[in-house]
Amino acid sequence: MTIKVIGAGFGRTGTLSLKLALELLGFDKCYHMMEVANHPDHVSSWRSAAKGESVDWDQLFQGYQATVDWPSCNFWREQMQAFPDAKVILTKREAENWYQSVMQTIWKVSQERRSDARSLMVFEVIWDGVFGGRMTEKDHVIAQYQKHNQTVIDEVPKDKLLVFEAKEGWPELCEFLGCSIPDTDYPNVNTTQDFVQRVTSSQSS
């Protein structure tokens, strides 16, 4: 089994919905940040990757056919080298809405959980690694978000890249991947409200 789809879009751009969509299309399983919680032994590999050290991508993604979300989206170039036949999907959304969603969800939660290894990895790979520890500086963060997206668009061969927004649903995604459109709605999960409710529920249980 090898990676067939590389998700290059940052978290909070519809990545969990895309994970579920890809799995419905047969790209099972799809690696997402949630997988790190299920595999705490992966944390050391992501911390190594953030330092520029060599990572065994085949071993890390053993049993997976697709990747989306942080932390893997930071290493889309490395994945393209490791899996040269894979296609790339860049999920995106309007920048201001994306920033507000990040700040109200994963950034807020990570501020409250800074002691465990996974949380430290999140800071090293994302908040410090991508945004230089300047998450409260909206203009800076949005500029980094836009720079990332443009870099992916500029560097990935056009025939291997789909720039995708979740609201577009199945047609373009299925055409890009050569799949039939499922007889079900495109997934729409993990909205800001969903995220907050899930975290609140876990804290009260």
* DSSP sequence for 53-82: ----HHHHTTT-SEE-STTGGGGHHHHHHH
The residue-averaged pLDDT of 180-197 equals 80
Please name each of the domains of the chain with its CATH number: 5-200 (3.40.50.300)
- Tokens linked to 165: 């927004």
Predicted structure pTM score = 0.92
Residue 199 has pLDDT above 80, yes or no: no
Task: Give the tens place of pLDDT for each residue, 96-154.
Answer: 999 999 999 999 888 876 667 888 899 999 999 999 999 999 999 999 999 999 999 99
Per-residue pLDDT, 203: 43
Q: What are phi and psi of 87, to 5 degrees?
A: -95, 160
Residue 198 has pLDDT above 70, yes or no: no
Task: Give the tens place of pLDDT for each residue, 140-182.
Answer: 999 999 999 999 999 999 999 999 999 999 999 999 999 999 9
Host H or E run for residue 196: helix 192-204
Three-state secondary-structure class, residue 88: strand
